[in-house]
Amino acid sequence: MKQKLVLIGNGMAGIRTIEELLKLDESANYEITVFGEEPHTNYNRILLSPVLAGEQKFDDIILNPPEWYNDNGITLHSGDPVTEIDRIHNRVVTASGISMEYDRLIIATGSRPFMLPIPGADLDGVLGFRDIEDVEKMLEVANSHNKAVVIGGGLLGLEAANALMKQGMQVSVVHLMNSLMENQLDMPAADLLKTSLEEKGLNFLLEKNTKEITGSNRVTGITFTDGEHLEADLVIMAVGIRPNIDLAKTSGIHCERGILVSDTMQTFDPSIYAVGECVQHRDVCYGLVAPLFEQAKVCANHLANLGYGRYEGSVTSSKLKVTGIELFSAGNFLGDDDSDDIIYRDPGAGVYKKLVIKDGRIDGAVLYGDTIDGAWYFQLMREGTDISSLRDNLLFGQAHLGDSGHGGEKQAMAMSDDAQVCDCNGVCKGDIIKAITTKGLFSLDEVKAHTKAAASCGSCTGLVEQILESTVGGDYSTPEHRPICQCSDFSHDQVRDAIRQQRLIDMASVFQALEWRNTDGCHTCRPAINYYLISTWPEEAKDDSQSRFVNERVHGNIQKDGSFSVIPRIWGGKTTPDELRAIADAAEKFNVGEVNITGGQRINMLGVQKEDLPAMWAFLNERGLVSGHAYGKALRTVKTCVGSTWCRFGTQDSTTLGIALEKMTWGSWMPHKFKMAVSGCPRNCAEATIKDFGVVAIDSGWELHIGGNGGVKVRATDMLCRVTSEEEVMEYCAAFIQIYREKARYLERTAPWVERVGLNYVKERILDDAEGRKALAERFYLSQRIAQFDPWAKLVQDAESHGFTPIKIIEAPIEDQREVAAS
């Protein structure tokens, strides 16, 4: 007869215990029942910040859907918390009145956010940041209010602040200490972090002690002990967590700060176990997920009656998941009188590394800006490896250590099987290898599905791919061969080749010829196939507007309140009174909420209702203004400076060249957005070296740069070459764009594309092969032959004065070029 196992708490630690138990005891000797306080299945709390930022939806962070519980014979009572543990009769009672007996009980009640005991803490608009309900309330406030204050400059507070800023709120972070994340960072790293977040738009008030939260029914601000007052529509308290032990205490289970457990995760009642943030083990309470998963594995070991598992505590590490910031911290990063610090600092590159060495071993680490060796340092620290022989080059990472440091091997291969690869889900290298070999996995998506490694924040994706590649060798499904989506096994390149070789001209033909599993496709494959069709067969394939993103369909950027922004094109930033008057008239006529100047030298009209967009564009078109494609997978902007026309440092006429480039390339649909810039001198005021195609003036002519990106992951351009004339600039630009359009995959920016194919490949096609370059440029000029808007007379005349006609994309195969030209 099966024993009854009851789990109190449907969170990450408790459910991980059940998952580990199922691995060890697949015969299912337990009848398992789970009681959860929240009305949801198990979800990943680590990813609440991306949900708050609008980058993911709640469904994206579900770890175990209802089917998982059913498939494993687990009874789930969600939204029904346990209110009583009757230890005498071995039963639990829930809020709804359910009474359930148990043979073994697991308490995994987690923690509660600590709310400062100050006046006003109970006002509407004062929230913690702990569960999806908190996130939903924050999003509701963000949709109708503007100012947010986050109290607490730790890991959780900064993630909340960054996410609220992405929702359009003005965010101030209030912190009692004089540096951010003092539990994870030393002062130099904290200063770098603060500077970086300030550049993103966050405001910081350090060494501030909150006295009270003001307001009558809902919050209006906070007041500090020094008398300063700060307005606020939303206050988030992220000052720490407290183990949720109320139920355990009222049941007579011995507690101090948390529920006291032994190394077998048993409480003082041998039939009751406890895991997670509610636990106190050897005087330590853990708030990071990795230790909780280690506890889960030990607890499952004893529930399966194996009896050899022991939890002896955890060495922890932290990685900040604020967009664009690479940060790693572990161990005793501050050091002490008996330790040595090895430090590398490059402020210009935004890199800081510190290793704390004690008795010939790594005792702590802080990495900022370059965290690639964080997992390796953490492994060395956990295993207590003597690094004395590696010390001279240790700070430069594995790649610089030679044979003694496995420098010839990839990072993942030097890791032991019990080294943790995925911190979010507690997955070790050995777990991944076992899943690959026993289940026959060959792709990253398969590994994600079976192990959950790389399925959360994604920071370990590179390591997982290395493990895949080394384990399955030539059978590894590399990015080049990954399916375009779940509807098919064909990759982007294979789909594109089939469209050309089989002369497929519509989506239905593609789905039929390639035996698509979903006959209508999906939101992932349809936009890509639509691009490949219209770029390959522009004369025959019909652009399917419903396969485009909404921003492209309506020529406007959707905003968080559901309205749209409209951005007419301003050639090179040069405008006329007539154009400005037309924009002003449109703003008044269509009740524009706000007008601002963009970083791309254009005028942005915000707050336009969707139903007004067709009439507004017709109004602007009649006055000679066309779309700036701020929404499109196309040319966005060509940023310029005033160059030699006005600037005393200018060496060339950057404005005229920038306008000519913009008029040449405008209207070209591409795999992704495309930005250019022309700087009039090496001072580079137009920031040409972080654009997809950048031009920098020098005394002898122009430098051409490619593959830059100034977004979340900044990438400086690679210099392609130097040329002496504007005509060469135009030809080389046309050739580069055309080869990018022909070879890149849909939604692949030039930066990762150049890294993938290699700079040498681009140079061979454009620099080393003059005839090939001219052929690419010719195909580009041919591709600009179909008009996109009606009001073209003046624009075409202006463009032709520079020798170019701005028209729509064509990307016919080489063998069809003469036929297209003749037509």
Dihedral sign, CA of 735, 737, 741, 744?
A: positive
685 has binding-site annotation = yes
Q: Which SS3 state, helix, strand or coil, does residue 3 take?
A: strand
Structure tokens belonging to residue 69 = 């519980």
Strand pairing category for 203-206 and 170-175: parallel
641 is in an annotated binding site: yes
Q: Which tokens is 320 given?
A: 């900040």
3-state secondary structure 593-626: CEEEECCCCCEEEEEECHHHHHHHHHHHHHCCCC
Q: How far is CA 774 from CA 179, 274, 741, 784, in A?
A: 57, 71, 16, 16
Tokens read off for 814:
């080489």
Q: How far is it, in rounded angstroms, from Cα 624 to Cα 592? A: 20
Quote the CA–CA distance of 145 and 168 in Å, as a whole number.
9
C-beta contacts of 496-501 below 8 A and 24+ residues apart = 496/532, 496/536, 499/529, 499/532, 499/533, 499/536, 499/537, 500/536, 500/813
User: 644 φ, ψ to 5°?
Assistant: -70, -15
Q: How far is CA 514 from CA 376, 416, 544, 797, in A?
A: 43, 42, 19, 45
Torsion of CA 38, 39, 44, 45, to 10 degrees: -40
**C-alpha dist (Å) from residue 412 to 379, 426, 433, 464, 519:** 11, 16, 11, 8, 40
Give the DSSP H or E segment for 212.
strand 210-215
Cβ distance 16 to 292 under 8 Å?
yes
Q: Are 547 and 539 in contact (CB under 8 A)?
A: no
Looking at residue 763, its amino acid is K
The C-alpha R_g of the chain, in whole angstroms, comes to 30
Q: Is 50 helix (H, G, I), strand (E, B) or coil?
A: helix
d(C-alpha 719, C-alpha 729), whole Å: 13
Single-letter code of the amino acid located at 298: V
Cα separation, 107 vs 35, in Å, equals: 10
Residue 285 known to bind ligand: no
CA dist., res. 395 & res. 367, Å (int) = 10
* Dihedral angle over CA of 72, 77, 81, 84, nearest 10: -80
Please give the structure tokens belonging to residue 803: 């020798």
CA–CA separation, 361 vs 372, rounded Å?
20
CB 481 within 8 A of CB 491: yes
Distance between CA atoms of residues 453 and 424, nearest Å: 8
Task: Write the CA distances from 552 to 408, 521, 558, 590, 623, integer angstroms.
Answer: 47, 19, 10, 20, 22
Residue 42 burial (CB count, 10 A):
26
Q: Is residue 647 part of an annotated ligand binding site? A: yes
Query: Which residues belong to the annotated binding site for [4Fe-4S] cluster?
Result: 641, 647, 681, 685
Query: Which residues belong to the annotated binding site?
Result: 641, 647, 681, 685
Query: Which residues belong to the annotated binding site for siroheme?
Result: 685
